[in-house]
Amino acid sequence: MRAARLIKLVLLLQARPSMTAAELARELEVSERTVARDVLSLSEAGVPVYADRGRAGGYRLIGGYRTRLTGLGRSEAEALFLSGVPSALREMGLADAASAARLKVSAALLPELRDAATGVAQRFHLDAPAWYQEPETPALLPEIADAVWDDRRITARYLRKDTEVERELEPYGLVLKAGVWYLAARTEGDYRVYRVDRFTAVAAAERASASGAQPTGAQPTGSEAAGSEAAGSEAANERFTRDATFDLPAFWAERAAQFARSILREQVVLRLSANGVRQLPYVTERAAAREAIARAQSEDGPDEQGRLTVTLAVESADVAYAQLLALGPEGEILAPPELRTRFTTAAHRTAALYA
């Protein structure tokens, strides 16, 4: 712990010309007295840390004590700092590691490139969760993330509707979609997607080896017990061989498209005004709306009154009712008849309110 703090202190001083004891204490989350002791330890170890006295004083490195990354241009440095997603790293328990990595890069960059991190942070920010959603970090996300990084098999309990099931998984990758974490994993030779917030328990997968197995009721000898313990330790940390051809972005894109198609099981026919055509992608599933509009425009086109009749894929009649009400008079439901009747009733009730 202290060794890591000393390294971070040196990197902080490499990245900046001078820092006060208060600034170092704040960055390292320790007291100023601890900073003074750490600086003394570094000096005794041969690191040239110099203390400037007075109100404007502080600590600095002398004698050109630094390393540099060579061949890294400004655009490359900015892209490097842009690649992190702070909220995702924090939720996976990697915020400290990412901070240390950025600090090391900053310390090693040429002086004229050290503002790259600040420049990017002031120009780009990724806010992953959707609007009107309180972001929640799944309790088991850090453990699952560790297994993903280590290519380690896990045994997981997972809620499927009202039933809890147990699966042995090879965790391949994590995806953050609109504030929701998903795990891409291989099980029984097939790749599947799981919502991380539905995991109720995660543990290292254990497989008893044939040589270490004991008959029921048998007591192992001392040497057998030691061998069994070692075998158990290896089993508890059992790793899998990752399929080198697995492409997480491509896999997710394919599964996301499959999911979008799978939930759009019903169809609605509606006649849209020009305004309705513009509004439809904003009130229902965007890709389905654009596909329906493009198909209608290429096949029949608008009628003499400029209205376009589209066949729209929807999740269900109830979902379509809730979404398409937002079109108001810009859209007329033609089919199915039951849905048209619901809209007719809603229109009469609305008119009565404003009569």
Please, which pLDDT band fits residue 72 given cuts at 50, 70 and 90? low
Question: What is the per-residue pLDDT for 84?
Answer: 58
> Tokens 């750490």, residue?
38
Q: With a cut of 90, say whether residue 99 has pLDDT above it.
A: no
Backbone angles phi, psi at 94, to 5 degrees: -110, 10
What beta strand segments (E) does 121-265 contain?
154-160, 163-177, 180-187, 190-195, 199-204
Quote the longest CA-to-CA distance of the chain: 91
Return d(Cα 101, Cα 127) in angstroms, integer: 21
CA angle at 44 for the pair 39 and 46, rounded to the nearest 5°: 95
Residue 39: partners with Cβ closer than 8 Å, 6 or more residues away: 9, 49, 51, 59
* Mean model confidence pLDDT for the chain: 81
Most confident of 48-62, 107-121, 152-166, 212-226: 152-166
CA angle at 230 for the pair 224 and 232, rounded to the nearest 5°: 100
pTM: 0.54
Could you tell me how far CA 285 lies from the centroid of its own chain?
23
- What does the block give as tokens for 284? 């229902």
**Of residues 102, 188, 202, the one with CA closest to residue 158:** 202
Q: With a cut of 90, say whether residue 87 has pLDDT above it.
A: no
Q: Are the CB atoms for 139 and 116 separated by under 8 Å? A: no
Top pLDDT among 234 and 351 is at 351
Q: How many CB atoms lie within 10 A of CB 148?
A: 19
Please, which pLDDT band fits residue 272 given cuts at 50, 70 and 90? very high
Q: With a cut of 90, say whether residue 96 has pLDDT above it.
A: no
Could you tell me how far CA 341 lies from the centroid of its own chain?
43
